[in-house]
Structure 1
Amino acid sequence: MRLARTEPTDQEPDIRARPPLVREFLLVAGLFLAYKFGRQAANGHVEEAFRNAGSVWDLERALHLPGEGAVQGLLLHGQPLIHAANTYYAAVHFPATALFLIWLYWRRPAHYVRSRRVLAALTGAALVLHLLYPLAPPRMLPAAGLVDTGQVYGPTVYGQTPATDTMANQFAAMPSLHVGWAVMVALGLIAATRSRWRWLWLLHPAITLFVVVGTANHYWLDAIVVVALLAVALAAFRPPPTARTVPAPLRAPGAWGSGEGAPVPAYAGGGSGSYEGGGRPAISEAPVASGTYAGGPR
């Protein structure tokens, strides 16, 4: 019977698991550009986007979700705070995800491959939803009564109106990739590191959720849907093994199979059967000739 023992995974990068750099760069860049330009196809569906926004707003109220206005009210207490939130929304989302993938590629190649696949699947699913369900963000919905903090306080990554915005699709609110990517970054770093402080990475998605809702760029449901999609993607791509199985060495067939040289118990005091100290027998691992006991002939 083959025995196995489990050893902790080496934390040093496994070069064999690292894909070719040029191929990965072209692949990730191609996927990002396909998403960036693909979501532009949802532009122009103004009536549908606002109709869907009204439906999402009504559904949230029916589900008794907290009002987005309550979160925005916390930010509007001070201009520096709302400016910081707008900056976080505009400047952290993409660079944080890119740095996450770069670090995994160099330091945890096996984790990188899975994370890239999960992010690609999540982003692809989000693109399909952007096209099938155009959604105006709450900052555009009159019924929400929210402030477009990016336009009022800055900075912002969007044009003043969706019709004049050629760089972004403002009707791609469902689902929130800001939240989805942030959750994946946190989970990926927690899985790939062993520091006792690694759970602090969860602050990134928590802050991101607070920011996207407080700046009125997303609804609560945008975040709920993207987390559900991420859960499906994580289930579809199993994690790499966290430990490797090393077979235990086997003895040569003649070593113990015939009884010669096998360690046998020898009771202290010879073959009289007496135990050392009157307790359990003392075991000797000294090999003896086949068919004999340590205390004398069989």
Structure 2
Amino acid sequence: MGDTTVNTGKGPEAACTSPIDGEVGAPAAHSLLRRLRSPRRPRLWYELALIAVSYWLYSLVRNAVPEQKTAALQNADWIWQAERAVGLGFERAVNHSVDSVTWLVVGMNYYYATLHFVVTIGVLVWLYRRHPGRYAAMRTVLFVTTGIALVGFYFFPLAPPRLFDGGGFIDTVVVHQTWGSMASGDLKHMTNQYAAMPSMHIGWSLWCGLAVFALSRVRWVRVLAVLYPVTTLVVIIATGNHFWLDAVGGLLCLLVGLGVTRLWYGRAPHRAPREGRGELRAQPPRAGGEPATPPGASARPALEDEPAGR
């Protein structure tokens, strides 16, 4: 008679609706989104397949863009005149000066043809092995940067300086008969010659430089990380493959890639935990054989609070 029983109508499962760590009871879509955003160790087979398919699609789309020669040459003339109007049309002087030193220009031709791929793949492997928790975010920056570049290739066809007759530039690969450009000599039919804006040599080299500089703690390695995109800028201009404004386009693509990745992961890529989920910190059992982590408590990822680069 004295006590009043209140029936909530929620049943026994009501006792389990209290969220733990903000996840239990959350909508499935929200939980999936959080799981996708969580840093984790990458799977080798998945990453190899993703890179192979992505590069195949990149090459397919880039080469499928119509080679609009007339528009590309007009755009090259517009850029060249604009640079000269502001007193920054220095590419031809650099191109001719370097071409006069045979060993230097030949070395630059091979640099242009090889390091673009070798260094980028090397940095991806380094991230995968040494910073697996940050790998996915850093890889996403690279993929978004490249995807934005494809839009530029399609909507702004541009002839490189070496193919711009009105500029008086030298095609150093043809003159010195070296394998230094996929768009010169016997290889020119394998790729779109009028996809110079933006420069992915700059976009990718800046990505490599930023990744290594942010995560390495070895001084000479960080110096090389800074020098690599700077040297690449000199090479693409000296060999007549790009205007300096193409490099600005590559930088802008990278900034978009960084911004998109920051929005998706909620933090800068290099601020993610080094190891990511799946690598639990080993803790010794307590006295009496009790486990270090009480039942029901969530285990933390290894090195989650470790400063970037350690």
TM-score by length of 2: 0.69
Q: CA deviation at 1:63?
A: 2.8
Q: Match for 2:128: what amino acid? A: Y
Of the candidates 208, 214, 226, which is equivalent to residue 238 of structure 2?
A: 214
1:228 to 244, 252, 276: 252
Structure 2 residue 173 is the aligned partner of structure 1 residue 150: yes
Task: Work out whether 1:134 is the aligned partner of 2:162.
Answer: no
Residue 189 (structure 1) shift: 0.5
Aligned residues: 228
Per the TM alignment, residue 126 of structure 1 is displaced from its structure 2 partner at its CA by: 0.4
Deviations 1:138-171 (A, max 9, x none): 0011221110001111223335579x83311111
| 1:99 equivalent in alignment to 2:99 | no
Does residue 30 (structure 1) correspond to residue 38 (structure 2)? The answer is no
| Residues 1:242 and 1:115: Cα distance change in structure 2 (over 3 Å) | closer
User: Radius of gyration: which is bigger?
Assistant: 1
Correspondence for 2:76: 53
Structure-2 change in CA distance of 1:126 and 1:243 (3 Å): closer
Which residue pairs with 2:305 in the alignment?
Answer: none
Counterpart CA distance in 1 for 2:126 and 2:233 is 24
Shift of 1:51: 1.2
Q: After the TM superposition, which segments of 4 or more aligned residues of structure 1 sit over 4 Å from their partners?
A: 159-162
Q: Summarize the alignment of residues 204-283 of structure 1 with structure 2, pairs less than 5 Å apart.
A: 204-238=228-262, 239-240=268-269, 241=271
Deviation at 1:119, TM superposition (A): 0.6
Q: Indicate conservation of the 8 Å contact 1:42/1:171, yes or no.
A: no
Determine the C-alpha separation between the residues in 2 that align with 1:73 and 1:161. 19
Q: Which runs of 5+ in 2 are unaligned?
A: 1-38, 263-267, 275-310
Tell me how far apart the structure 1 counterparts of residues 102 and 239 of structure 2 sit (CA, whole Å): 12
Mark the CA change 1:69 to 1:186 in structure 2 (over 3 Å): closer, same or farther.
Answer: same
Instruction: Indicate the SS of the match to 1:217.
Output: coil
Letter in 1 for 2:242: H
Q: Is the 8 A contact 1:119 1:181 kept in 2?
A: yes
> What TM-score comes out, normalization by structure 1 length?
0.72
Q: 1:19 to 1:158 in 2, by over 3 A?
A: closer
CA drift at 1:117: 0.3
Greater mean alpha carbon deviation, residues 195-204 or residues 128-137: 195-204
Supply the RMSD in Å over aligned alpha carbons.
2.0
Stretch deviating more after TM superposition (59-68 or 206-215): 59-68
Residue identity opposite 2:113 in structure 1: A
- Asked if 1 retains the 8 angstrom alpha-carbon contact of 2:134 and 2:273, the reply is no
- On the 8 A contact 2:145/2:254 being kept in 1, the answer is yes
Shift of the alpha carbon at 1:71?
Answer: 1.5
Gap runs ≥5 in structure 1: 1-15, 245-298
Instruction: Summarize the Cα distance change of 1:18–1:66 in structure 2 as closer, same or farther, 3 Å threshold.
Output: same
